[in-house]
Amino acid sequence: MEFLNPIALYGLFTLPLLLIPYLLRRKPRRYVFSSLLIFSAMGADPTVRPWGRLRLPLIFFLQLLLLALMIIALGEPVFTASPSRVAIVMDNSASMQALEDGKSRFVLARERAADIFAELGSGAVLDLYLTAPRLERFGGVSFSPSEAARALHGLTPVDLGEAPLDYNNALSQLAREQKYDRVYLITDRPARGHSGAARVVTVGRPRANFAITSFAVHHGSLADARLNASAEIANFSSSDARLKIILRGNGAPIATRELAIAAGAYASAVFEGLPLHAFFEAEIDSRDALDLDNRSFAVASTTKMLRILGISPRPQELNSLRAITGVELDIVAPADYEKSDRSRYGLEIFHFAAPAVLPRNPALFILPPNQSELVDLRERATNPSVSGWREGHPLTRYVNFALFRPRYARPLKPQLPGENIVLSAEGSLVFATMKHGLRYLVLGFDPFPFLGQENLPMSIFTVNMIDWFFAFSGARGKATGEPIPVSAAQSGDQIITPAGERFSLRPGATAFPATRYQGIYQLMRQSEKSLIAVNLRDVNESDLRRPAPIELGGESDARSSESTLMPFWPYFLLAALLLLMLEWFIKPRMARSGRRFELRRRHAV
Amino acid sequence: MLPQPFTPQFLSQLETLRLRTRKEFLGGHSGSYGSPRRGTSLEFADYRRYAPGDDLRYLDWGIYARSDRLYIKLFREEVDLFAYVFIDASASMAFPSVREKFLPASHIGAALSYVVLANHDHVKIHLLGEPSASISSPFYRGRRRMVDCVQFTAATTPAGRMDMAASLAHHLQKLRRPGKAILISDFLIPAASYQQGLNLLRAFNLDIAVIQVLTRLEVEPPFASGGVNLIDSETNAEINLQWDDRARQNYQAKLAQHNSEIRSFCHQSGIHYSLYVTDRDFSGFIFATLPAIGLFK
């Protein structure tokens, strides 16, 4: 027998609470009596047994049984026959590398799987599935329990985030289509609800963790050859922390920095004036649950150009940007934005437009439509004058704000935490924020067209903006699982993974997809070698505090589970109802006899 | 004005009664109670040999004619009675209320006092309590002093603890004449205490009557079933017990045994004893129960 909703059984711990009303009712009533002489002669002890001997009426036991039956019925007990066709789905995402008392979650998951194998009969047929990079069968063959245990032993988790998947549907579908009697998902996420054929086995507990969520090395500006590095560190814990960040170039330490990070907050560290190295590595000196996200890799950008994707209904005004040296501009209409390949660009400029979700590139929003995710726009202001600005900020350098006069503006009402860089009396005109390691800037006025010396304050501000974005648009590297683009691979081209494995690229291949592990990948083309940094960039994997629960439920897999599950909780419910009726029958009789007794006594008195 | 139940009709019924004494006392004045002295009543007592100087009117000429000897007839002396009414005024007499227990007890005392007063005898009321609070009235005589009797008891509020033996001893120190003693109490005290007290009265050559007064609540405690925390009205001692039908029966058996012990002791000691439960008919108790135990002639 097992329970489909075992959490309900915790309700059994509340059963003793039923005693409370009886104990309260039994609280001794105080009476003043003429003399206790006769009571003393009865043998009553004057000091002990203040509550007397606990004598519980029959109705109490009926109520206890009634409650117990209802709680057990809520637990949905079922008789189970031993399943013969079983699927084991192993979560092999990056968070499974987190340590739990010296063992990784994946090792714990293997142990749980071994327990399941031990419970199954030797004739059971097992299929193994992995969740990353996508839910797919492992090995392509079925296993006996002993073979499955051996196969599992050779598996390790990858540095990938978990694919966004509705596990309830996916597991039910798997059970239905592949005719599995039972599907076990062994993961580090908790489960809510229950399902007929699917079972979720959770390993690990919520943990505090620190993570480098973004690391990039870039040129200081379009005109500056020196390198700067910036790293963003997240504190996924409930207490403030001081962390030391070590920056390495080609594996050798070149700089360190200490950061104070509030609980649940992000902090950034910037390293300026770095010498050129083939690759850089940032590491936080912390012994936390997940070691993987304590390191991040970057390769310095060699390009001196900023590639901009403009999205505007007025392309001619944006076109003026081409006048700035080092700017390469492509413009698309807002309707074509979703269709365009945006991976090549270092900046996206939304000119009187806004995407449905924030772009995965740094972005500049110029007078976005109202109700965007970043800001709301206030009422329009004609010829607004600047009332304040952030001194020393790269965006305000060399700008004479006395002469800075946008013709038209709509002050901004920020919806996210960030910085107001330029302010007017009516509100913010320039708002900067950072999310997931990307810079976003919103302007409440239109700085275009770029007029050069004809409007010097606005032109300097525009160049500052381009410089500011360029400084951040260095080779950000790739996220694990993201393919490395290769333009027309030729015979002999190879990719060397961080583990030293060599993969030959097929001639004509345009991408190398197997970026499952974090580190520096080497693309070897003829005599040319280029480095690509690949990092885990999934905060869901790093934030181990409260993983999202897997919601199970629905009857979609009921058919597949019919053969193994025989629910009998309705019988418990029926028994509870019968007891309730019995109680109804008994209680009024007891009350009546009690009232009769009371009346008799009063009459006698 | 006398309170209920002392209506004119009730008082006239009381006037028909006379206290009966089983002892003879030396009275102060002539009355209607026997005395060990020889006197001038109509009741013949004895003969004695004539001596010169005896009143010739009392010579029994019949004996002289038969035996040729001179004998003088002796008659009983009849004297007045001194009655002492002792009423328990401890805190237990105020349970559950003064009206329900102490007042009926004091009414019994007043009724018996009126019987004495109506016969032109003397009555004195003593309130038993803590030695410092023990008080007594002056001697009353004559029907008109009935109001004083009632007012004396009505002015009292039962309170404090009572050691019966000590309290009686305190009152007996001031007693000069033997007579009839009527002790009214709930007797919810240890046997040793009341026995010692009654023995003191006996030692003082008093003719004793005991009236035990209990309320219905004391006979059948009305506690609801379950745990009960009881507090003694006099000592504030506490006791916990489980009250149920069995406990109720046990209590009533113990109370009956306690009352039986009192009755038995009184019987052995030549003391009139009667139990009055205050919810019973008061007139019935005075005019039926008390005559039945021989308290009245």
Give residue-wise pLDDT tens across range A99-157.
Answer: 998 899 999 999 999 888 888 877 788 999 999 888 889 888 888 888 888 888 888 99
Q: Which of B230, B246, B255, B261 to mutate to test the interface with A (most CBs of A within 10 A)?
A: B230
Task: Count CA within 13 A, CB hemisphere, residue A565.
Answer: 23
Q: Rounded to an integer, what distance in angstroms lies between the CA atom of residue A540 and that of residue A289?
A: 14
Give first-to-last CA distance, chain A, whole Å. Answer: 58
Asked if A34 lies within 8 A of B92 by C-beta distance, the reply is yes
**What is the pLDDT, as a whole number, of residue A560?**
47
Residue closest to A161 by CA, chosen among A428, A406, A491, A516: A516
**What is the pLDDT, as a whole number, of residue A590?**
61
Asked if B242 lies within 8 A of A53 by C-beta distance, the reply is yes
**What is the pLDDT, as a whole number, of residue A364?**
94
* pLDDT average, residue stretch B149-166: 91
- Residue range A12-29, pLDDT digits in tens: 888 888 888 877 766 778
Instruction: Collect all residues of chain A within an 8 Å Cβ-Cβ radius of residue B254.
Output: 38, 41-42
**What is the pLDDT, as a whole number, of residue A473?**
67
- Check: pTM over 0.80? Answer yes or no: no
Annotated domain spans of chain B:
8-23+81-292, 31-79
Residue closest to A285 by CA, chosen among A203, A222, A210: A210
Instruction: Collect all residues of chain B within an 8 Å Cβ-Cβ radius of residue A36.
Output: 230, 232, 235, 237, 239
Q: What is the CATH number of domain A306-472?
A: 3.40.50.880
Instruction: Collect all residues of chain A within an 8 Å Cβ-Cβ radius of residue B93.
Output: 34
* pLDDT bucket at B264, cuts 50 / 70 / 90: very high
Is B160 part of the contact surface with chain A (CB cutoff 8 Å)? no
Least confident window among A522-526, B104-108, B217-221, B247-251: A522-526
N residues, chain B: 297
**What is the pLDDT, as a whole number, of residue A187?**
93
> What are φ and ψ of residue B256, in 5° steps?
-60, -40
Query: Position A52: which residue type?
Result: G
Residues in a beta bridge with B44: B75
Q: Which of B240, B248, B250, B262 to mutate to test the interface with A (most CBs of A within 10 A)?
A: B240
Asked if A46 lies within 8 A of B238 by C-beta distance, the reply is yes
Residue B127 or A591, more confident: B127
N residues, chain A: 605
Asked if A46 lies within 8 A of B240 by C-beta distance, the reply is yes
Q: Rounded to an integer, what distance in angstroms lies between the CA atom of residue B237 and that of residue B255?
A: 19
Instruction: Collect all residues of chain A within an 8 Å Cβ-Cβ radius of residue B232.
Output: 33, 35-36
Closest residue on chain B to A597 (Cα): B224
CB-based contacts of A510: which residues, under 8 Å, 6+ apart? A485, A486, A487, A488, A489
| Distance from the B252 Cα atom to the nearest Cα atom in chain A, whole angstroms | 9
Asked if B221 lies within 8 A of A33 by C-beta distance, the reply is yes
**What is the pLDDT, as a whole number, of residue B114?**
95
Instruction: Collect all residues of chain A within an 8 Å Cβ-Cβ radius of residue B216.
Output: 604-605
Closest residue on chain B to A22 (Cα): B226
Q: Please confirm whether the linkage preceding B5 is cis (ω < 30° from 0).
A: yes
Class assignment of domain A209-302+538-542? mainly beta
Q: Rounded to an integer, what distance in angstroms lies between the CA atom of residue A93 and that of residue A517?
A: 11
Q: Which residues of chain A have pLDDT under 50?
A: 47-48, 556-562, 601-605
Q: Which of A27, A35, A601 to mutate to test the interface with B (most CBs of B within 10 A)?
A: A35
Instruction: Collect all residues of chain B within an 8 Å Cβ-Cβ radius of residue A599.
Output: none
Instruction: Collect all residues of chain A within an 8 Å Cβ-Cβ radius of residue B220.
Output: 601, 604-605
Q: Which residues of A make CB contacts under 8 Å with B?
A: 25-42, 44-46, 48-53, 55, 598, 601-602, 604-605
Structurally, what CATH architecture does the domain formed by A82-206+546-563 represent? 3-Layer(aba) Sandwich (3.40)
**What is the pLDDT, as a whole number, of residue A558?**
43
Residue closest to A294 by CA, chosen among A515, A99, A499: A99
CB-based contacts of B180: which residues, under 8 Å, 6+ apart? B19, B21, B81, B82, B83, B84, B116, B206, B207, B208, B209
Residue closest to A159 by CA, chosen among A537, A573, A484, A485: A537
**What is the pLDDT, as a whole number, of residue B290?**
93
Is B95 part of the contact surface with chain A (CB cutoff 8 Å)? yes
Read off the DSSP letter of residue A81: P
Instruction: Collect all residues of chain A within an 8 Å Cβ-Cβ radius of residue B192.
Output: none
For the ranges A163-167, B54-58, B146-150, the maximum mean pLDDT occurs at B146-150
Residue A487, number of CB atoms within 10 A of its CB: 8
Instruction: Collect all residues of chain B within an 8 Å Cβ-Cβ radius of residue A26.
Output: 226-227
What sign does the CA torsion over A398, A403, A408, A410 have?
A: positive
Judge whether A235 and A264 are in contact, CB under 8 Å.
yes
Q: Quote the tokens at residue A586.
A: 């008994």
What is the β-pairing status of strands A198-202 and A182-187? parallel
Residue A151, number of CB atoms within 10 A of its CB: 16
Is B251 part of the contact surface with chain A (CB cutoff 8 Å)? yes
Residue B255 has pLDDT above 90, yes or no: yes
E strand segments, A262-385? 266-274, 280-284, 295-298, 306-311, 327-332, 347-351, 363-366, 375-377, 381-382
Asked if B230 lies within 8 A of A598 by C-beta distance, the reply is no
**What is the pLDDT, as a whole number, of residue A605?**
38
Residue B93 has pLDDT above 80, yes or no: yes
Class assignment of domain B8-23+81-292? alpha beta
CB-based contacts of A577: which residues, under 8 Å, 6+ apart? none
**What is the pLDDT, as a whole number, of residue A591?**
60
Closest residue on chain A to B279 (Cα): A605
Closest residue on chain B to A602 (Cα): B222
Residues in a beta bridge with B201: none
Q: Quote the tokens at residue B111.
A: 């009724």
